[in-house]
A and B are shown apart, each in its own frame.
Chain A
Amino acid sequence: MGQGRRSEPQSHDRDEAFRLQLETLIPHLRAFARTLCGDPTAADDLAQDAMLKAWDARGSFEMGTNMKAWTFMILRNQFYSEKRRSWRQTQLDQEAAERTLVAVDDPEAPVALDELRMGLGMLPPEQREALILVGAGGFAYEEAAAICDCAVGTVKSRVSRARRALQGILESGSYRRDGSSASEAMATILADAERLSQVK
């Protein structure tokens, strides 16, 4: 009787708590999906699929543990199981990068962000996701390793390689954005970072 059934009201409360917590994670799932897919529409489809998968698997989630990491793992598995081929195709596809650029609604958005997106698009997928999880998602190396199903040391080395590669891309202008020089992009990023750090 180890895995005894919960009584109905208890499992209802648990589901309710689970759903509320899952709702708070939707913005993060969307952001992570966007970095994996590039295309916002495809990203939202992926995020919705992952959200439903998480809901269906709620029984296997241990309340009190890190639900964000758990849902990111689900989203990532979903992405690689279903979309691996399409990503391989778009990875080197300049058109995909252009679509990502077009997807930026805000005309005031600093140009450097576009370049950063394109630079990210040029990284090998495993480096990109490691950098995103640790550098933007706020995950510890250990958590990122669990999400990516690899060793902590592997995540560390991927992140550091990604950082170096990204810097190289931004400085050399190999993202092939017409009309703006590489040093310009890096200069914009530096200026923006300085501005942001002063604001906060």
Chain B
Amino acid sequence: MRRSRSKSPSLDEARLRQQAIGVKLRQMFDEVVNEPVPDEFLSILRRADETRAGVKK
């Protein structure tokens, strides 16, 4: 059994804080990833695709 007590609690504390910031960073990023994509994006891409195919409408 390892002793859980660390020699430098401030290092552990710093690591904990870094982990917390990491969780937040991902949350911030994922919030936008999970937003519904505005229709504009898909319509722009479809239009570009149709232009290529010469199916202009």
Interface residues of A (CB under 8 A from B): 12, 15, 19, 22-23, 26-28, 30-31, 34-35, 44, 47-48, 51-52, 55-56, 112-113, 116-117, 131-132, 135-137, 163, 166-167, 170-171, 186, 189-190, 192-194, 196-197
Closest to A109 in B: B31
Chain A residues within an 8 Å CB radius of B23: 192-193, 196-197
Is chain A's interface secondary structure helix, strand, loop, or mixed overall?
helix
With A117-B28, A192-B24 given, name 15 new contacts (CB 8 A).
Answer: A12-B53, A30-B41, A31-B30, A35-B29, A44-B38, A51-B44, A56-B48, A116-B24, A136-B26, A166-B21, A167-B14, A189-B24, A192-B23, A192-B27, A193-B19
Chain B residues within an 8 Å CB radius of A166: 21
Closest to A112 in B: B24
Contact status of A190 and B42, CB under 8 A, knowing A112-B24, A132-B29: no
Shortest beta-carbon distance from A185 to chain B in Å? 11
Task: Assess whether A193 is in contact with B20, with CB atoms less than 8 Å apart.
Answer: yes
Task: Assess whether A170 is in contact with B28, with CB atoms less than 8 Å apart.
Answer: no
Chain A residues within an 8 Å CB radius of B31: 113
Chain A residues within an 8 Å CB radius of B37: 26-27, 30
Q: What are 21 A-B pairs with beta-carbon distances under 8 A?
A: A15-B49, A26-B42, A30-B33, A30-B37, A30-B41, A44-B38, A44-B41, A48-B41, A51-B45, A52-B44, A52-B48, A55-B49, A132-B29, A136-B28, A137-B29, A167-B14, A167-B21, A186-B17, A189-B20, A190-B17, A193-B20
Chain A residues within an 8 Å CB radius of B40: 44, 48
Task: Assess whether A113 is in contact with B45, with CB atoms less than 8 Å apart.
Answer: no
B56 at the interface (CB under 8 A from A): no
Closest to A138 in B: B26
Closest to A119 in B: B21
Shortest beta-carbon distance from A140 to chain B in Å? 15
Q: How far is the CA of A132 from the CA of B33 in the complex (A)?
A: 13
Shortest beta-carbon distance from A172 to chain B in Å? 13
Q: How far is the CA of A189 from the CA of B28 in the complex (A)?
A: 12
